[in-house]
Amino acid sequence: MSLLWLPGGLLLGGLAAWLGERGKAHRAHGIALLTLVTTAGMLMFSDSETSLPWIPRFGIALHLSLDGLSLSLVILTLFLGVIAVLSSWREIGQRAGLFQLNLLWTLAGTLGVFLATDLFLFFFAWELMIVPMFFLIRHWGHEGRVRAAFKFFLYTQVGGLFMWLGILGLAFLFYRQTGVFSFDFEDLKGVETGVWGPWLMLGFSLGFLVKLPAVPLHLWLPEAHTQAPTGGSVILAGVLLKTGAYGMLRFVPALFPAEAQAAAPAFMVLGASAVLYGAHQAFAQTDLKRLIAYSSISHMGLVLLGVFSTTEAGVRGAVMTMLAHGLSAAALFSIAGMLQQRVHSRDLDLYGGFWGSAPRLGALTLFFALAALGLPGLGNFVGEFLALLGAFLGRPWIAALAALGLILAPVYALWLVQRSFHGPAQRAIADLNLREGVLLGMLVFTLLILGMQPDPVLDLAASVTFPVGSGP
């Protein structure tokens, strides 16, 4: 089966959800769920590579391929898609069809990003996922949604355009050297970038670092994550941030080996400062979703650190952190959505003592908070440990700096649990219902698997050969 069916199926499913809603929200949710499950089923029968001519005039093809790294991220995307649909089942009552259209189209763009091996197609998909996400935040978000949506859109768009300049520059150098146009990743790897190398890499990196986000470029994230509807936050934190990390991992080192090697310390410092800054900011938040958003910045900093440690362990750790953070952040945002639905506020000052009335929700929150702080036995620990190990092998001082984040993470994670579930009971809330239990149960299960048996996933995901070499 052609790989085009994966994003294509989601695009069609989105239209089906929109047209099939007919005033009944659960129909739209059902169609969306069915679409995701069907797409996951199609994944089993997919080819590992698809190439169709698209714009031959410029050597652009619909070239998609599925290797271990892509496969693990595609699975993550579809899985979190299911989580996002489930977590918005009750929350989205109005215009649910349109909501699911936007959700599925965002996911389709994301799949395109993870699968594309033609850089034109990659950019196409990259831009494609931004517009529906804008609508998700804009129409179904919370009180400050307009500002958040605009900020999200402009930051990621302008970042994307810098990447676009990089892609075109690379394609042009290829044209100058060979006389034909090509946007194919394999072709462009061979380009002699010469003096343009650092600039082109800067263009690529700006696009990816905005999305990741690295610290000075992160300003869109706390607002977008906080204001998005639960399903949107799950997708943003779980999947969209991973596209930036994926780009930094797959494209930057492969296209600009020498330049990436030279810039690696700078990227590691960026990563380490994101770890510390994100954790520090998370601790100061009183808005639950904002707290989780800042913790995401912290974890994604670790990914950047791992990728540019230029060691095998670091890269494996980065990939594992991508997957595990996707799951744990999705879980925490789902919980935030559940609490908000019950309390009608995200303000931690209004929370407290929920354990008495909702022990199961409390226990699961504690579980995911422990996952986020990197408790051994769960996926996040494996990722964090390997990323820091890799960084330490390369540049011990930067690793030591980033490791301080391990002290800060428990502080904000336990603080979160303490403020919402312990202390005197402010009020009683309903405990988990079946749908919510299933949703969180699936996430618990996958995080445990990743933590207990990381090897198959690590081998699958890190099968991508890393051209940077093994350490300085």
Q: Which residues bind other proteins (CB under 8 A)?
A: 53-58, 120, 124-125, 127-128, 131, 134-135, 138-139, 146, 150, 153-154, 157-158, 161-162, 164-165, 168-169, 171-172, 175, 181, 199
Pick between residue 42 and residue 168 the one whose CB is nearest to other proteins. Answer: 168
Residue 5 beta carbon to other proteins: minimum distance, rounded to whole angstroms: 16
Q: Kindly give, in sequence order, each residue whose CB lies less than 8 Å from that of residue 442, ignoring residues fewer than 6 positions away.
A: 79, 82, 83
Exposed/middle/buried for 431, CB within 10 Å: 0-12, 13-18, 19+? middle
Residue 127 beta carbon to other proteins: minimum distance, rounded to whole angstroms: 5
For 259-280, b where at least 16 C-beta lie within 10 A, e where not — what string? bbbebbbebbbbbbbbbbbbbb
Residue 215 beta carbon to other proteins: minimum distance, rounded to whole angstroms: 21
Closest CA to 3 of 70, 48, 37: 48
Degrees (nearest 5) of the Cα angle 333, 339, 345?
Answer: 100
Pick between residue 157 and residue 426 the one whose CB is nearest to other proteins. Answer: 157
Pick between residue 94 and residue 465 the one whose CB is nearest to other proteins. Answer: 94
Count Cβ atoms below 10 Å from residue 284 Cβ, excluding itself: 10
Pick between residue 62 and residue 336 the one whose CB is nearest to other proteins. Answer: 62
Pick between residue 199 and residue 445 the one whose CB is nearest to other proteins. Answer: 199
Pick between residue 48 and residue 177 the one whose CB is nearest to other proteins. Answer: 177
Residue 172 beta carbon to other proteins: minimum distance, rounded to whole angstroms: 5
Residue 407 beta carbon to other proteins: minimum distance, rounded to whole angstroms: 39
Residue 124 beta carbon to other proteins: minimum distance, rounded to whole angstroms: 5
Pick between residue 229 and residue 317 the one whose CB is nearest to other proteins. Answer: 229
What span, in angstroms and rounded, lies between the C-alpha atoms of 313 and 216?
A: 27
**Pseudo-torsion of CA 440, 418, 92, 40, nearest 10°?**
-30
55: β partners: 60
**What is the separation of C-alpha 86 from the centre of its chain, rounded to a whole number of angstroms?**
18
Pick between residue 169 and residue 451 the one whose CB is nearest to other proteins. Answer: 169
Residue 134 beta carbon to other proteins: minimum distance, rounded to whole angstroms: 7
The answer to whether 63 touches 116, Cβ cutoff 8 Å, is yes
Q: At what angle do helices 396-403 and 288-307 cross, to 10 degrees?
A: 160
Pick between residue 220 and residue 351 the one whose CB is nearest to other proteins. Answer: 220
Residue 270 beta carbon to other proteins: minimum distance, rounded to whole angstroms: 22
Strand positions, DSSP E, 373-424: none
Residue 100 beta carbon to other proteins: minimum distance, rounded to whole angstroms: 16
C-alpha distances (whole Å) from 389 to each of 106, 320, 393, 458 are 34, 13, 6, 15
Q: Which amino acid is at 157?
A: Q
